[in-house]
Amino acid sequence: MKGTELNYGDLEGFLKGLLENKAVDCLIMPRRVGNSVSYMLVRDKDKITAPESAIFAPSFGVNAANIVKGWLIDEKVGIVAKPCETRAAIELIKLTQLKEDSVLLITVDCAGTYANEVYAANYADIGDQVDSAKIKELAGKGISIRDACTICENRLADIGDIAIAQANGEKAVVAGLTDKGVEALTAAGLSLEEKDLEREAEKEQIAAEAKANLEALPKIDSEAALEEFLRDCIVCKNCRDVCPVCYCKDCFFDQPLGNPAGGDLLNLAETRGAVAVPANQLLYHLTRVYHVCTTCVACGACEDACPKDIPLTRYYPVITKKVQEIFEYVPGKDVKEPLPFTTYEDDELEECLM
């Protein structure tokens, strides 16, 4: 693939160049505020300063794709984000919640992230970026990456239009993964050469570790276990609101049938004798896991957003992964691959119906 190696100091010029040369009309990218890192939407290139201190930061607050969900605009948005966020954006394109031609997806290598509040509190120890050795060292001090990151198999930038991969010694390889990406890089004024970013061995190792970590997560394997797991849920639906691939404009659980109140609730209590309130706790999570079962990118935003600290990574990504396996579908891998529920084969899946 076509790419070039940049010093960290040159990344600022590269991102500014994208805006300046109209490769994109605006950029959504991480910015540093003291110890914290959060996203900003930039139109003025001069607002970009020292991006290298923010774009590699192992901090996860929101999924960047959730910011652009439903933005059916014609202007071109560049999104500088981690692989799980790019995958979510690709799913949104397939769900027609985002225009393929209106985004430039710039994916940055990720070694695993800390919840943003953990990152800010331990910035002195964590720093601007980490690698797997540093993550192990910090885990020894009790500073752990998010569960969702420990089970993530796709941490290296290999999807989207442009990859920003970490190279040795304060250097990054910037490469175009699609024609659109190569065009943008050229427009930004980079001279490109042939670069190898396959990194197969590294990917295999990450995937093997992730699989082992997934196996080690506590299982929710019965209705009783599910009830126990969700006992403290207050049905605030934060997990839905922060989920990049949960996109219905009118959620069933905001409508009278899904969110019964007043007389409706009294009638339910009348037929059943008693009804738990807030209502539909189990139905909400069971329906939601079905709704995201093919598109969940396992970013773990739901767990971070849960005000009751329910470890939702043990539920959504774990349960949906098995569904994705029966369809041999990896969400966000390929923008051209149809969503499993929009296609079929004549002879398939009968073993799942036994």
Partner 1 sequence: MGEEKGDFEPKIVGFTCNWCTYAGADLAGTSRKKYPPNVRLIRMMCTARFDPMFALKALLNGADGVFISGCHPGECHYIKGNFYARRRIAAMRTILKQLGLDNRVKSYWISASEGDKFATTMKNITEEIKAVGPNPVRDEIL
Can you give the binding site for partner 1, defined by CB under 8 A? Answer: 220-223, 225-227, 252, 272-276, 281-283, 286-287, 289-290, 293-294, 318-320, 322-323, 326-327, 340-341, 344-349, 352-353
Secondary structure (3-state) at 256: coil
CB of 196 to partner 1, least distance (A): 38
Nearer to partner 1, 116 or 294 (CB): 294
Residue with tokens 């930061």: 57
CB of 318 to partner 1, least distance (A): 8
Nearest to 213 by CA among 271, 136, 159: 136
Nearer to partner 1, 41 or 283 (CB): 283
Per the DSSP assignment, residues forming a β-bridge with 173 are 5, 165
**CA 68 to each of CA 73, 76, 242: distance values in angstroms, whole numbers, following the listed order:** 10, 11, 12
Nearer to partner 1, 192 or 286 (CB): 286
CB of 333 to partner 1, least distance (A): 18
CB of 353 to partner 1, least distance (A): 5
H helix intervals, the chain: 8-20, 64-68, 83-94, 116-121, 123-126, 132-140, 147-150, 179-187, 200-216, 223-229, 238-241, 262-272, 281-291, 301-305, 316-326
Nearer to partner 1, 20 or 290 (CB): 290
Within 10 A of 13 (CB to CB), how many other CB atoms are there? 17
Nearer to partner 1, 168 or 342 (CB): 342
Q: What is the DSSP letter of 35?
A: T
Nearer to partner 1, 9 or 338 (CB): 338
CB of 271 to partner 1, least distance (A): 9
CB of 220 to partner 1, least distance (A): 7
Is the backbone of residue 54 left (phi > 0), alpha (psi -120 to 50) or beta?
alpha
